[in-house]
Amino acid sequence: MNFHDAPSADGVWHHCHLLPDADPDHAIRDGAMVVEHGRIAWLGALTDLPDSYRHLDRHNAGGAWITAGLVDCHTHLVYGGQRADEFAMRLAGAGYEAIARAGGGIVSTVRATREADEAMLFAQAAVRLEALLAEGVTAIEIKSGYGLSLEAERKQLRVARQLGEAYGVTVHTTFLGAHALPPEYAGRADDYIDLVCHTMLPALAEEKLVDAVDAFCEGIGFSPDQTARVFEAAARHGLPVKLHAEQLSNLGGAALAARHKALSADHLEHLDEAGVMAMAEAGTVAVLLPGAYYFLRDTHLPPLALLRRHGVPIAISTDHNPGTSPTTSLLLMMNMACTLFRMTVPEVLAGVTTHAARALGAADRHGRLAVGRVADFALWRVASPAELAYWFGRNPCAGVVRQGKVFR
């Protein structure tokens, strides 16, 4: 359904149970919610519905639970091609070098992204986005990082903006030019970082294509010093930062991110207590990505006990990308966060709503049902919100309201 043709959500939503945030103690059974002019005007028990709203159109939710729309706060959704053949090669015993010689790895995605035009990138990403939207996602982050040239990074970010406009979903764009070293800069990482900081980022920021800036701080990515240069460039343009950190080793990336007041540090399997404490002090969100952990068959768990002890907010995301997390199900990530990382149901519910919104710098707009906010919410045909993390391979989403419009 075209976003602009979708019916309005204005009116009284009733015959429902409300979960305004992730706290089960805040649930409102037999509730009602009023939407006016695309925004939430009131919510509470149906018996308390003010007389001034009783004349409005009614939307019967059929006994569904209603939560805030889900937030997928870390994705690489726009890219060319796929890497299923590479996956098959790995399973058959091929190593990294053999796959690279066969044209695989990130270089293959960079090549496919550079060769695709915007229409092709949009068509491929739309299929992935539609799967996420069908599971109640109403806000999503989309990174660049598979172009690694100004022209190709611009294409990715332009397509991300176009997806938001076409589907009526809130898209937060992140410039990830410092994702990997492009082939033409082999052996010249510092020169490439110069290009990112002094050419690519200024141009893309000027074109209003960038909401945040990210980097991959890792032995196979970029050093802490190179990452700091990217963060300093972001600051010159007034842009917040986030970081791929401590996925494969501990280079102190999370602490570096915290020093730059990063919105989030993501992956974090090798995070230590010093990094956790720095994140806690800075208010930096920990974004955990169980899909990549699973797909790479990792065994080094992120430090949940330390994150809990120091009160670091924890978000969960798909990390959708062609190489290490080709999933289009945020609900599955909730289940994996519970089963693989031993997170609780309230933790994962917060992880895809309130904390995920905070990881995008959008806690005032997404992640909770609250008066005055744009009507972004999902209806679930479940007996308990715990079912959102319980089922896998099943989608209990009965409907979604995005930006005040109804989608079934």
Q: Beta strand 39-45 with 58-68: parallel, antiparallel or unpaired? A: unpaired
- Tell me the C-alpha distance between 261 and 4, whole Å: 38
The answer on whether 319 is annotated among ligand-binding residues is yes
The answer on whether 167 is annotated among ligand-binding residues is no
The answer on whether 293 is annotated among ligand-binding residues is no
The answer on whether 247 is annotated among ligand-binding residues is yes
The answer on whether 199 is annotated among ligand-binding residues is no
The answer on whether 23 is annotated among ligand-binding residues is no
Strand partners, 406: 401
Ramachandran region, residue 117 (left: φ > 0; alpha: ψ -120 to 50; beta: rest): beta
The answer on whether 324 is annotated among ligand-binding residues is yes
Q: What is the CA radius of gyration of the chain?
A: 21
CA nearest 369: which of 407, 401, 332, 330? 401
The answer on whether 10 is annotated among ligand-binding residues is no
The answer on whether 60 is annotated among ligand-binding residues is no
Report the amino acid identity of residue 34.
V
Would you state the structure tokens that stand for residue 317, as one six-digit string? 């995301």
Q: Which long-range contacts (CB under 8 A, 24 or more apart) does 228-234 make?
A: 228/256, 228/260, 229/193, 229/197, 230/177, 230/178, 230/193, 230/196, 230/197, 230/201, 231/256, 231/257, 231/260, 231/262, 232/197, 233/196, 233/197, 233/198, 233/201, 234/201
CB atoms within 10 A of CB 6: 18
Is the separation of the CB atoms in 84 and 38 below 8 Å? no
Q: What is the DSSP letter of 27?
A: -
CA nearest 83: which of 104, 61, 64, 107? 104
Measure Cα distances from 303 to 18, 283, 300, 307 in Å.
32, 17, 9, 6
The answer on whether 366 is annotated among ligand-binding residues is no
301 φ/ψ angles, rounded to the nearest 5 degrees: -70, 145
The answer on whether 83 is annotated among ligand-binding residues is yes
Residues flagged as binding site for Zn(2+): 74, 76, 244, 319
Residues flagged as binding site for N-formimidoyl-L-glutamate: 146, 321, 323
Residues flagged as binding site for Fe(3+): 74, 76, 244, 319
Residues flagged as binding site: 74, 76, 83, 146, 179, 244, 247, 319, 321, 323-324
Residues flagged as binding site for 4-imidazolone-5-propanoate: 83, 146, 179, 247, 324
